[in-house]
A and B are shown apart, each in its own frame.
Chain A
Amino acid sequence: MSQPFRTEKGGRIDRAEQLTFTFDGEEMQGHKGDTLASALLANGVHLVGRSFKYHRPRGILTAGSEEPNALVGVYRNGDQTPNLRATQVELYQGLEAISQNRFPSLGFDIGAVNDLLSPLFPAGFYYKTFMWPHAFWDKVYEPIIRSAAGLGKPPKNPDHDVYGNIYAHCDVLVVGSGPTGLAAALAAGETGAKVMLVDEQAEFGGSLLSEVSASIDGKDPADFVTETVAKLAAMDNVTLLPRTTAFGYFAHNFISLAERVTEHLSNPDPKLPRERLWQVRAKEVVIAAGAIERPMVFPENDRPGILLADAGRTYLNRYGVKVGHKVLVATACDSAWQAAFDLADHGVDVVAIVDLRETPPESLMSIAEARGIRVEAGCVVTGTLGRKRVKGALIGRLMTSGQVASGGQIACDALLMSGGWTPTVSLYSQSRGKVVWDSEKGAYVPGVSVQKERSAGGAKGLYGLQATLEDGYAAGEEAAKAATGKSAKVTYASATGGEAGSGGILGALPHDRNAARVKAFVDYQNDVTAKDVKLAVREGMHSIEHIKRYTTTGMATDQGRLSNMNALEIASGALQKPMTDVGLTTFRQPYTPTTFGLFAGVSRGDFFDPVRKTPSHDWVVENGGVFEDVGQWKRTWYFPKNGEDMHAAVARECKTVRESVGLFDASTLGKIEVVGPDAAEFLERMYTNPWKKLAPGRCRYGLLLNDAGFITDDGVIGRLAEDRFHVTTTTGGAPSVFATMEDYLQTEWPDLNVWITSTTEQFAVAAVQGPKAREVIAPFIEGVDLSADAFPHMSVKQATFCGVPCRLFRISFTGELGFEINVPRRHGKMMWETLAKEIEKHNGTVYGTESMHVLRAEKGYIIVGQDTDGTVTPQDAGMTWAISKNKFDFVGKRGLARPDLVADGRKQFVGLLTKDPKVKLEEGAQITTAEQPATGTPAEGHVTSSYYSPALDRTIALAIVKNGHALEGKTLYVPMPTGSIPVEVTSTVFYDKEGARINV
């Protein structure tokens, strides 16, 4: 029969709808409403994975997101998503899942030899063992460890799914939809407050969905859930988000949610995102995350078939699945007894309840007796039998001496355990709240709220159906009142049954076994045993933070929600310190593993970063230009013709510019409009150069320093009118120069009457450079006499280009006659195409950034950020001429007078010529005085720019060198792996030293 462990009736699954799925290729059946875990259990499959380190067979332990063992890979469209918790994977028709961390198969795993060799793998094993020889770490140890360790394999293909992103605001965010969360959402919703209710599970209701022995207002808890959710759904002010994990609580009540939109569907609508990231700013938060059950730490507590008691109860009541036919219940608290009773009511043979307590409550004892269940009080499980499935348990009786006496064996095919409950304080802890120890509850509970949140119900250690409902209503009312000031009268539902139990145990249980040989697991996912925690303490780890990292306990995907409290108690025992003195590690975001896709959202590929294109872009694409990325800009690098390589193309472009004319797209240069009565005064204070006497219609090169005295930017500034300047900056410096100007203007000199506006995007700029530049632009320009006398070098004028208003600059970054035409951006394409056609008549060329670099290097013009590195002063760069001597102040003036900036021995900007004109230096190469410097000799400087110069038919380089200005004519060396390259220090101007070409 299929699904041999399915109950005959009950549960919330749709028995009419049968679904087929595969696990490791084996076909099985389940029902709509199942999780992969419940469907596997219905088919009798407990063994679902191998443990991380020892490769021990592992089964499903929990029914929630804290599941440490049942991590599976799920295939969809040929891609595999690894490490999904089977307890959270909803079953759909055709689901394909695989187990992980096993080879060659789940049933026979070679890695399991680690379990036999486990005495060799204690805590800190890696740190101790793979220390020698040192060189082996990279080559041998790490690759082997990496291939042997790990869980799922990452997918190999790019993620083809789409991920969404939403920002939302609400008055009250309720996290968790158990009794507390539902009550809170309802109470808050009734006030009219904007409420969001989120739950990581597919269905709202939390623990109510597996509660069958209590009633609320005389109804089944599940019906209460249905009715309450219907009420909430009918409220316009309430947003319901199932399958949504509140995974991060950040500053100022900013909460991140991960909504799984399509993962549970067999054939999702391709238009829908797989997951959606909600970033919510909530005025108030109610944390109703509940509590989770703690495993008991007894030897071999990790065999498949051993589950938490409440998980067993959930599988039974919610999913209609019996975890076994002969079930043993081991507990230290009341709640697990209810699991035993529910199982017995479904005809499961509950072989015994083993309770650590000498005298469990009489009320429970009598119910057990009525059902004929054997009770072993004052007993513990001291070991289990079986390998791929639990076959039986060893029982030990606790003696008054503290010793354990053997109490025989009990056969079983499943074991449910409960060490008590741990409030889920993760979100509270993420909100930076400090948990406090509640000795009565035996748990850490939320302390004072740091942000606008309140924990309610199980999340603060409050148990029992009636109490959690009441606390939920109160929390919802309070939160709504705090957020909106409004309140409403809410009728509280009242519960019968589902009382809070008592009991619970922390730490390792006593046993009569050989302590050196048995393994009692504390952290299942990371294979950390009680022994490992004790060993860590013995080896000197006295802080819980050290113990955690040394043993890796609590570092699994549940962040220690299952393991922390037990580990803490064991550590406290070993340290002989009270638990509260040992400390607690902090829960951090994310609450559960979260996909990278969710964080990336749409910021992938072309949307990762904005792409900025100039008006010539399409023309360049059509004409085969090659682009380079300059920040976000796509700039044309060079224009190869007839199969040229870059070197040939650049050589031709440079030569053509010097011989006839070239056209270059300079649109990316930063542009800032500085306007106002105090505009000249403002620039006077910002830049090193004088501006007040610059006549309208003239330009000047401007050098910008920071207050430390170092060069930060440069560019030509044109004065259009008394009160209006057109400032240009470097392409990369545009935003920071603008921000710096705003800063000084707003905070240092608010008295200045100046407005500044970034106009980078407003203008398209074409640079026409070369002896024939004037002839090229003349046919299109009106309103300017272009003759050398009327419009000399460093002039600016408002004119028209083909009838379009333009700002015409006569400036040069090549050393040739040059013009830069600024037109409104929308006319940029027209201007570019017009000029590109025109230069052909003059045998001109279009050129890109590489030629621009070569041409400027031939003239020794610096590029800020390439030839300077933030430690270069104008004096270092040989630009003392740019500093006005007569100004009272400018940014950097005082800095330049600092002792270190005027001291001898600074690195200065020089030219370098290799002795062999064919040898091109590498940019960044170090420069030394000795041909073969001894190891450890500090460099004298480094090469900042290096090119082949077509004009000189040889290589040239620029560099910063210690005391470089005094070294002209001297020989230095650039040591390279292939040998030391001798270079001669020269002037930085290699071509047209007298600058005649620029003034024609």
Chain B
Amino acid sequence: MLLIYCPYCQVERSEMEFACRGEAHVVRPADPSKATDEEWVEFLYMRDNTKGVAAERWRHIHGCGRFFNAVRDTVSDKFLKIYKTGEPKPDLEALAKEAGK
């Protein structure tokens, strides 16, 4: 069971308090009507399913209820960075390098 740091509560808590909500930084087009069918399908369904370092959305569902983002190595389960919703996507390659992958 993972140990996860909530950037809002600023505490580490057990995975049981959290829910993973899939890939982060999937942006819903500001004007969906302008999105082509391909772009909309990309937004709806296409996910990287990364083996390795990936940015994910998590929600502290049984705590503060807030969504936040986390960079996790999906192989080792190590969290490399945790940040609040709205903050820019970190450089995953640099994080991976730093973690020695």
Contacts and interface: CB of A to CB of B under 8 A. Distances in A.
Interface of A: 250-254, 279, 281, 432, 450, 707-708, 739, 742-743, 746-748, 750, 888-889, 893-895, 897-899
A250 B76 CA distance: 11
Interface in B46-68: 57, 59, 61, 65-67
With most chain A CB atoms within 10 A of its CB, the pick from B2, B40, B65 is: B40
B88 interface: no
A742 B65 contact: yes
B32 A750 contact: no
B40 A898 contact: yes
Nearest to B65: A742
Contact of B67 (A251, A253, A747): A747
Contacts of B40: 894-895, 898
Contacts of A742: 59, 65, 67
A254 B57 contact: no
Nearest to B34: A894
Contact of B85 (A250, A254, A746, A895): A746
Contact of B77 (A251, A279, A707, A888): A251
B3 interface: yes
Nearest to B79: A252
B3 A750 contact: no
B65 A707 contact: no
B61 to A, nearest CB: 7
A761 to B, nearest CB: 16
With most chain B CB atoms within 10 A of its CB, the pick from A450, A747, A888 is: A747
A931 B60 CA distance: 55
Contact of B28 (A253, A450, A746, A748): A748
Contacts of A254: 1, 3
Given A254-B3, A889-B32, 6 more contacts: A432-B76, A739-B61, A742-B65, A746-B66, A888-B31, A898-B40
Contacts of A251: 1-2, 77
A894 B33 contact: yes
B28 A707 contact: yes
Contacts of B89: none
B42 to A, nearest CB: 12
Contact of A889 (B31, B41, B61): B31
Contact of A250 (B1, B31, B41): B1
Contact of B33 (A707, A889, A899): A889
A743 B14 contact: no
B61 A894 contact: no
B65 A894 contact: no
B44 interface: yes
A894 B57 contact: no
Nearest to B29: A894
Contacts of B41: 898
Given A893-B32, A893-B33, A747 B57 contact: yes
A921 to B, nearest CB: 34
A739 B58 CA distance: 12
Contacts of B29: 894
B37 interface: yes
12 contacts: A252-B2, A252-B3, A254-B1, A432-B76, A708-B44, A746-B66, A746-B85, A747-B57, A750-B85, A889-B32, A893-B33, A894-B40
B76 A450 contact: yes
A895 B40 CA distance: 8
Nearest to A432: B76
B67 A746 contact: yes
A432 B66 CA distance: 31
B35 interface: yes
A758 to B, nearest CB: 10
Nearest to A744: B28
A56 to B, nearest CB: 42
Contact of B21 (A708, A743, A894, A899): A743
A962 B91 CA distance: 49
Nearest to A900: B37
A742 B60 CA distance: 12
A708 B40 CA distance: 9
Contacts of B65: 742
Nearest to A889: B32
